[in-house]
Each structure stands twice: as C-alpha cells, then as structure tokens.
Amino acid sequence: MSATANVKIDYYEVLEVSRTATDTELKAAYRKMALKYHPDRNPDNADAEERFKACSEAYQVLSDPNKRAAYDRFGHAGVSGAGAGGGFTGSPFGDAQDLGDIFGDLFGEMFGGGRGGSRPTREQRGRDLRYDLKIEFEDAAFGKEQEIKIRRMEICDDCHGSGAARGKQPITCPHCGGRGQVRMQQGFFSIARTCTSCQGTGTLIVDPCPTCRGESRVQREHVILVKIPAGVEDGTRIRYGGEGEAGRFGGPSGDLYVVLTVKAHAFFERDGDDLHCSMPISFPQAALGAELEVPTLEGPATIKIPEGTQSGKVIKLKGKGVPHLNASGKGDLLVEIRVQTPTKLSKQQRELLEQLSESMLIENAPHGRGIFDKMKDIFS
C-alpha cells in the first residue's frame, strides 16, 4: 500500500477491509493501522506519517454513514470536501469522546495508561516501610515477641483523610472538568495530557485542613508487636500487611517489612538448621576415650569420645540443632573433635611421655602398617 498526497488510494484498501465491513470491523482495522503507523512509534519517518494520515482520512469517511454512502456511489469525488484534497482538518473523529473510544487501548499500549474513559482518582497507596531488627542467636532459634516503634504517616483525624478543612469538600478541577486530563490538538489528532492543576486527580482542595495542610495524613509514632517464629535466619523478611504508611485521600496503606539481622554466636556456627562447634580434648582423652559434656542451645549434653579418636572426627547429636521454620523437628549438632598437643611440659610429664614413646611400636600406631614400610613402597 502506498499513500501520498497526490495519489488517492481506495479507502477500503487503505484500511485493508472489504467493502461490506461493519462499523466494528472498521474500528478494529483503524486501531490496528493507527497503532502501526503512529508518529510516536515511527519518529522521523515521513512514510509512516503519511500512512497514518491516510488511514485517519479513510476512517473519517467510512465511519460516517452518509459519507460512506456517497463514497460508495461516487468514489473520492463524492467526499472531496472531507478528503485530504478538500479540507481534511482537525481531528478525524469529531469530538474527544469519539477519540477516546477509538484510542482507548491504543494510548494504553503506547503510553502505559488505561482506557480513555476511566475516571481519575485521588486515592494513592501508601509507601511500604522497612525496619531493621537485630536479634540474638537464641532468639532466631527459638523465636520471640518484641515491640518496635516506627514513625509513619497516618490518616489525619481532623479531616478523616480528605485533606479539606472540616465541613469542606474538594471541588471539581475547573481546568480539566474533573477528568484529570486535558486534550491538546496537534494537527489531525489530539493527545491527552495529565492536568497540571490537579495532577490528574480531577479535584482541587481550596480550603485545606489546617492540621495536615491538605496532605490528608500526619506523621505519628506507632508501636507494633513483632512475632519472630522459631528457626528464622539472618536476612529473613517478615511482612506485616497494611502496617506501612497510610494511603493519601483514602488510598490503601502500604506494608511493613521487618528485616532480621542475627548476631553471631560465641561457640556455635549455623548451617541451615544444623549447628557446628569444635570440642578440644587432650591426647590421653583421645587415646583412652572419655565422656565429656558439650554445650547445646538447650543446655549441656554428654558425648562419648571413643578410644583412639583422631583429631577432626565429627560426632553428631541428633535433634540438638535449630528448629525447622514453620515445621516440626530440629536440625543436628555436629561436634568436631580437636586433639590438643601440649606446648609446655613439666619434667615428670616429659619423662612419662618418653617412656610411652619407647614402649610403643610404630606398627601399633593408628596408621596400620608402619610409616617406614609405606615410605619404602613409595621410593622403591
């Protein structure tokens, strides 16, 4: 299809419809063509601009029953006064209501707005708030309840959120007539703009509430009971719906997000719901075996050190870890054994260790085969 100022193309071909097309089919075809060739979607494209003008001209004629009948009988000569060659001016739709009906979805796609017929609203959702709460390691494991104080915007008691002085009401914006938008004519089509007087709300407050100064909200301190469930981890977010700032002019409130920071523990390290710790023992305890007490989050527990325990061995205490979040059961406590080597010996201790060393054969060491035998295998 080609549309120029000097060549008149059949209007039905311009819109790519049959000559028996219904009004609904014409409107759908025009919306499709206008969306495709709209200048805002085709900047600096003269051909697209001409095509947009051509489809607008075609729809202006074919959407009018009288003009369409004349066009069907006499062609372009029958509607020369309405065509581009005979005075096609202004909007092709007669009034803004028709334009909004045609472009309701078109403007929504191109500019992110809704249908042109939607009514403006002053309501605005309140902001979400964040509160950072630092808790102890044990509080994260077992849960707790704690009160926090936040400052937030709340509904003004004097105007009940209207923003107007007591006994007064907002008035309809005289600039946009309460529509929240004003239309600007640009050549053969018009564009809706947000009303700068009312900022798109459709109303104006001429007598503002002296307490909130027309803002509909005031700042107050609010106390909230935070319930921390057992098993939470560092960085957990707890959402409290509607506990954020109040919305303006009757809009819904935002939410409050409590973000937890868990303090490190002096003895335990956490991995999911399991706990890890290190237990130092002496060489005789490792060699002979022993029973020792190890701390847990619920108090001391007894662990058995088997005879001949090596440094690095891990002993598991089942169910002595952190409770599973929102579920039954607990993780485990994993105790890593660390055999300590003495750094200072008394004379008697040294003599005893020397006697022990002489009495022990290398084959009886935990390595099984003698270390010298293994070295011979490697280098032979």
* More confidently predicted of 205 and 137: 137
The answer as to whether 217 is a domain residue is yes
Q: What percent of the chain has pLDDT over 90?
A: 43
The answer as to whether 183 is a domain residue is no
**Same domain assignment for residues 258 and 282:** no
The answer as to whether 369 is a domain residue is no
**Same domain assignment for residues 37 and 155:** no
Q: Are 131 and 210 in contact (CB under 8 A)?
A: no
The answer as to whether 353 is a domain residue is no
**Same domain assignment for residues 260 and 273:** no
Q: What are the beta bridge partners of residue 153?
A: 219
The answer as to whether 304 is a domain residue is yes
Q: What is the mean pLDDT of the chain?
A: 82
pLDDT computed for residue 339 by the predictor = 94
| Residue 156 labeled ligand binder | yes
**Same domain assignment for residues 81 and 23:** yes
Q: Is the pLDDT of residue 110 over 50?
A: no
Count of structural domains, the chain: 3
Q: Is the pLDDT of residue 122 over 80?
A: no
| Residue 173 labeled ligand binder | yes
The answer as to whether 107 is a domain residue is no
**Same domain assignment for residues 285 and 260:** no
**Same domain assignment for residues 126 and 260:** yes
**Same domain assignment for residues 260 and 296:** no
Annotate 7-26 with b (16+ C-beta within 10 A) or e (fewer). ebbebbebbebeeebeeeeb
Cα-Cα-Cα-Cα dihedral sign, residues 172, 173, 174, 178? negative
**Highest mean pLDDT range out of 41-50, 76-85, 115-124, 153-162?**
153-162
The answer as to whether 2 is a domain residue is no
3-state secondary structure 89-135: CCCCCCCHHHHHHHHHHHHHHHHCCCCCCCCCCCCECCCCEEEEEEE
CA distance 113 to 272: 46
**Angle in degrees, 0-180, between the axes of helices 23-37 and 96-111, rounded to the nearest 10:** 50
Q: Is the pLDDT of residue 368 over 80?
A: no
CA distances from 222 to 107, 149, 155, 230 (A): 43, 6, 13, 25
Q: Are 253 and 126 in contact (CB under 8 A)?
A: yes
pLDDT computed for residue 157 by the predictor = 92
**Same domain assignment for residues 127 and 231:** yes
pLDDT in tens, 211-258: 999 889 999 999 999 999 999 999 999 999 999 999 988 889 999 999
CA distance 318 to 334: 8
Q: Helix (H, G, I), strand (E, B), or coil: what is residue 209?
A: coil
**Same domain assignment for residues 134 and 227:** yes
pLDDT in tens, 276-321: 999 999 989 999 999 999 999 999 999 999 999 999 999 999 999 9
- Of 341, 357, 374, the one marking the end of a domain is 341
pLDDT in tens, 199-218: 888 888 889 999 999 889 99
**Same domain assignment for residues 225 and 307:** no
**Full domain range(s) for residue 71:** 11-87
pLDDT in tens, 56-107: 888 888 888 888 888 888 788 777 754 443 334 334 444 433 444 445 444 4
The answer as to whether 73 is a domain residue is yes
pLDDT computed for residue 366 by the predictor = 52
**Same domain assignment for residues 136 and 258:** yes
pTM for this model (two decimals): 0.58
List the CATH number of the domain containing 296: 2.60.260.20
- Of 69, 87, 105, the one marking the end of a domain is 87
List the CATH number of the domain containing 16: 1.10.287.110
| Residue 55 labeled ligand binder | no
**Same domain assignment for residues 237 and 132:** yes
